[in-house]
């Protein structure tokens, strides 16, 4: 073995140890940042009030559907002897209406809760204190994204499960299969929109601008998927409609090729949005 080969051979263990140390540092930094983000969610009471709001929204829909005839009857201004006949509510339709409420109010609440997740720290200078240490931009953003997903999927599950339980008590039983499938599809739609919120929060200085930009993208994609299902059925905007179909179908909704395309484009879109956020953060100053 010549001297060059011998030197290269001796350097290989050192390189492996150095790469392993870098990987350990990266994973340790990510877990530390994730703990910080979860603690921040707890200190800001988002871990408390956001799930409570979703549970309230979930309970309201079956209660309103059950008591609607009584509410209309007690509303007054009805001629004497008027008989109001309403078809009994269907459990699956009540859960679909609940998802519709989540798509309006729930998505607005989550976007407002996370609109300043990056821009707020850049404006205050907190991101500069974190990123000067041996912390990668990827770990920094991924920790925020994972904390967002923990709160989003957890709140959605609590609210939707509350709606499912009260629908079972008051109206009708809905099978667990359609319930879980619609939950996963709607959660994927929420993930896509909130990842867009993370991107806009990284790109824009204004937290409100980040929230309403992501909501505008969500409204646009949903409208296009609803108005042109033949041409836009593959887009992530079709996921909410697929969730409605999944819970209202009498049997478990079979996912066709268009549905799988919608899921695939949502997953790819989430990955692209995350990578775009990292690139934008690297190019932007740590403190605005």
pLDDT given at position 133: 67
Quote the pLDDT of residue 98: 94
pLDDT at 11: 42
Whether 5 is covered by a domain: the verdict is no
23 within a domain of the structure (yes/no): no
- What count of other Cβ atoms lies within 10 Å of the Cβ of residue 39? 12
User: Cα–Cα–Cα angle for 65, 101, 254, nearest 5°?
Assistant: 90
Burial profile 194-227: b = 16 or more Cβ within 10 angstroms, e = fewer: bbbbbbbbbbbeebeebbbbbbebbeebbebbee
Residue 8 located in a structural domain: no
Q: 249 is in which domain, residue-wise?
A: 28-283
Q: What are phi and psi of 82, to 5 degrees?
A: -70, 130
pLDDT, position 205: 84
| pLDDT for position 143 | 92
Q: What is 171-234 written as a DSSP string?
A: T----HHHHHHHHHHHHHHHHHHHHHHHHHHHH-S-HHHHHHHHHHHHHHHHHHHHH-HHHHTT
- Asked whether residue 47 is domain-assigned, the answer is yes
pLDDT, position 256: 61
Structural domain contains residue 243: yes
Rounded Cα–Cα distance for residues 76 and 71 (Å): 9
What pLDDT does 81 receive? Answer: 60
How many of the other CB atoms lie within 10 Å of CB of 122?
Answer: 21
Phi, psi of 10 (to 5 degrees): -70, -30
C-alpha to C-alpha distance for 156 and 243, rounded to whole angstroms: 13
In a domain, 245, yes or no: yes
* Two tokens, residue 2: 């010549």
At residue 12, the pLDDT reads 52
Number of domains in the chain: 1
Give CA–CA dist 246/256, Å, rounded.
12
219 inside domain: yes
CA distance 180 to 98: 14
Per-residue pLDDT of the chain (288 residues; tens, 9 = 90+): 454 444 443 445 434 434 443 444 556 878 888 888 999 999 999 999 999 999 999 999 999 988 877 776 666 566 666 666 667 778 889 999 999 999 989 999 999 999 988 888 887 877 777 777 677 888 899 999 999 999 999 999 999 999 999 999 999 898 898 899 999 999 999 999 999 999 999 988 888 889 899 999 999 999 998 888 887 878 899 999 889 988 887 555 556 656 788 899 999 999 999 999 999 988 875 555
pTM, to two decimals = 0.85
3-state secondary structure of 16: helix
Q: Considering the domain boundaries, does residue 7 fall inside one?
A: no
Among 210, 216, 161, smallest CA distance to 186 is for 161
Taking the C-alpha atoms of residue 178 and residue 213, their distance in angstroms, rounded to an integer, is: 32
Assess contact for 122 and 274: CB atoms under 8 A.
Answer: no
Distance CA 211, CA 199 (A): 10
């Amino acid at each position: 073995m010549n001297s060059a080969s011998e030197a290269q051979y001796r350097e290989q263990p050192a390189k492996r140890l150095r790469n392993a140390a870098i990987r350990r540092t990266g994973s340790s930094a990510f877990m530390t940042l994730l703990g910080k983000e979860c603690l921040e969610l707890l200190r800001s009471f988002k871990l408390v009030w956001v799930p409570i709001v979703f549970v309230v929204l979930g309970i309201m829909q079956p209660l309103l559907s059950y008591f609607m005839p009584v509410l209309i009857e007690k509303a007054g201004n009805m001629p004497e002897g008027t008989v109001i006949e309403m078809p009994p509510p269907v459990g699956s339709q009540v859960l679909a209406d609940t998802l519709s409420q989540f798509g309006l109010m729930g998505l607005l609440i989550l976007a407002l809760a996370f609109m300043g997740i990056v821009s707020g720290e850049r404006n205050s200078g907190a991101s500069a204190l974190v990123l000067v240490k041996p912390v990668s931009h990827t770990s920094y953003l991924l920790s925020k994204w994972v904390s967002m997903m923990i709160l989003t999927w957890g709140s959605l599950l609590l609210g939707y499960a509350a709606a499912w339980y009260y629908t079972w008590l008051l109206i009708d039983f809905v099978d667990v299969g359609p319930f879980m499938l619609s939950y996963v599809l709607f959660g994927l739609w929420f993930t896509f929109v909130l990842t867009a919120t993370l991107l806009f929060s990284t790109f824009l200085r204004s937290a409100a601008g980040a929230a309403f930009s992501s909501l505008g993208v969500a409204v646009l994609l949903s409208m296009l998927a609803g108005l042109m299902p033949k041409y836009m059925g593959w887009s992530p905007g079709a996921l909410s409609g697929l969730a409605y179909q999944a819970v209202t179908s009498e049997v478990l909704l079979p996912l066709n090729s268009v549905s799988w395309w919608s899921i695939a484009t949502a997953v790819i879109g989430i990955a692209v949005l995350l990578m775009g956020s990292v690139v934008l953060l690297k190019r932007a100053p740590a403190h605005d």
